[in-house]
Chain A
């Protein structure tokens, strides 16, 4: 996770670099360290360092990691020629390296030569069956081709071995949601909540899935997870506030008559409605009428 101070540091450096204040190398290092996706900026500033032989040689051995970083960024921006040049330089320096082989396979993938890329990845995996990046690339490639069931297969195979990798769990959860396989997705989100219990994003997504699944029990659980999202975000999550309202009215519809915890829950609902109204008044006054009519339709 990126902490707030790190984020501020990145933004500060980005501003500085964009306005020609120098510090490009520090910015690139930070982006690399935090695994951010700022491909366009990395490409622009990385290339300007690499094209300047004086600056480039000042980096020492870090030069080669910069080549790698720029190559990946270039592929992300579809500047395939740049990527090709970078990879060529690396090939010359490290002949037979697996890490460079991975880049070549990624270049094939970026060109859309799926079967060639697939072959390259499988041969890489034959040499080292525990290369996590290659496993993930494979799943990503299947997804890029629109072959979601294959992507699920790859991810499941990967998670069978590397089951503590929460990034893979998250990807799998999102794929399941896109295929409307909510039960499976709920399992993945539970796994994510277990691995990082204080990330509100996962609570929110899990609540969404539970709400979509429907049924009294799931709705009640969804409401609790919306509540925890509100607590973890300090009431800043609009989606969770709406979620509370929706869940409460859905529960009220389902359990007519049998009302045990009605009073308390309706209080939470009216509180969220009020928070929403206040938020809309501050940030989007023009949409306030839409909000109030929506809330009225939920019988709040």
Chain B
């Protein structure tokens, strides 16, 4: 461990730089491919739109409840949460299972698959390519020492425990690029176009979003609201304002 490893400049020219360039190019290519594949007809379900709007309106009611007279508030509350045809009331059992919804709507499943394919295929291909051509290289050295725990992150593919942790293997360099290029993409492709894998994964796991659940939550929140009309207070405040103005 006493002496430093000397890295061949050819490694820099033929491994490190090509790898990064290829990752950037693939990212851009993927952006355009996914743009092409995005289904043009984005007709959404009127029910989903309506549910979203109902939730916004109910939230407004909750926030501004004290600004309208008690009678108006009670009428609205009933309108939202009565158990016959209230807007927020979701009958038990009718709540759609998102999984079932997915199968009932082939378009949705198709969309999902397209999204996933555009993510997974290039990723596997590049990984295989990196493995095939560049496995086992020590590609770079970071200029500061690190603890042993970083070994699995930085030296993936090199099974030597004697190499200093600050050396980065080519496979690890690939991973660093995969997750670290987001800032560059947002520069090249514009702010919101950045193809961010980590974010996509989050979206996938959040796919089971269920609008009826948010309706139910909103209904519960509305049920416990106590109405206390604030307007009578305003008369005193107006009096104070005017007094300041007049005298």
Q: Which A residues contact B (CB, under 8 angstroms)?
A: 128-130, 161-165, 187, 190-191, 193-195, 197, 221, 223-228, 230-231, 234-235, 244, 264-265, 267-268, 271-272, 274-275, 278
A235 and B232 in contact, given A163-B57, A164-B53 (Cβ under 8 angstroms): no
- Tell me how far the C-beta of B15 lies from the nearest C-beta in chain A, rounded to whole angstroms: 39
Q: Is the CB of B242 within 8 A of A197?
A: no
- Asked whether B61 is an interface residue with its Cβ less than 8 Å from the other chain, the reply is yes
Residues of A within 8 A of B243 (CB): 271
Residue from B44, B49, B241 in contact with A230 in the complex, judged by beta carbons closer than 8 Å: B241
> Considering the complex, which residues of chain B in the window 30-46 have a beta carbon less than 8 Å from any beta carbon of chain A?
43-44, 46
Interface residue tally for chain B (C-beta within 8 Å): 31
Q: Which of B67-75, B115-123, B158-166 contacts A (4 or more CB under 8 A)?
A: B67-75
- Tell me how far the C-beta of A97 lies from the nearest C-beta in chain B, rounded to whole angstroms: 12
- Asked whether B213 is an interface residue with its Cβ less than 8 Å from the other chain, the reply is no
Q: Is the CB of B245 within 8 A of A164?
A: no
A231 and B64 in contact, given A161-B53, A163-B53, A275-B242 (Cβ under 8 angstroms): no
Q: Is the CB of A164 within 8 A of B60?
A: yes
Q: Is the CB of A193 within 8 A of B67?
A: yes
Q: Is the CB of B241 within 8 A of A234?
A: yes
Residues of A within 8 A of B49 (CB): 130, 161-162
Residues of B within 8 A of A197 (CB): 63-64, 67
Can you report 12 residue pairs joining A to B where beta carbons are below 8 Å apart? Answer: A163-B57, A164-B56, A165-B53, A190-B68, A194-B57, A194-B68, A221-B231, A224-B234, A227-B238, A227-B239, A230-B241, A235-B238
Residue from B44, B68, B235 in contact with A268 in the complex, judged by beta carbons closer than 8 Å: B235
Residues of B within 8 A of A275 (CB): 242, 245-246
- Tell me how far the C-beta of A10 lies from the nearest C-beta in chain B, rounded to whole angstroms: 25
Residue of chain B at shortest CB distance from A193: B67
Residues of A within 8 A of B235 (CB): 223-224, 227, 264-265, 268
Q: Is the CB of B231 within 8 A of A225?
A: yes
Residue from A128, A129, A221, A278 in contact with B69 in the complex, judged by beta carbons closer than 8 Å: A221
A224 and B60 in contact, given A193-B67, A231-B241, A234-B241 (Cβ under 8 angstroms): no
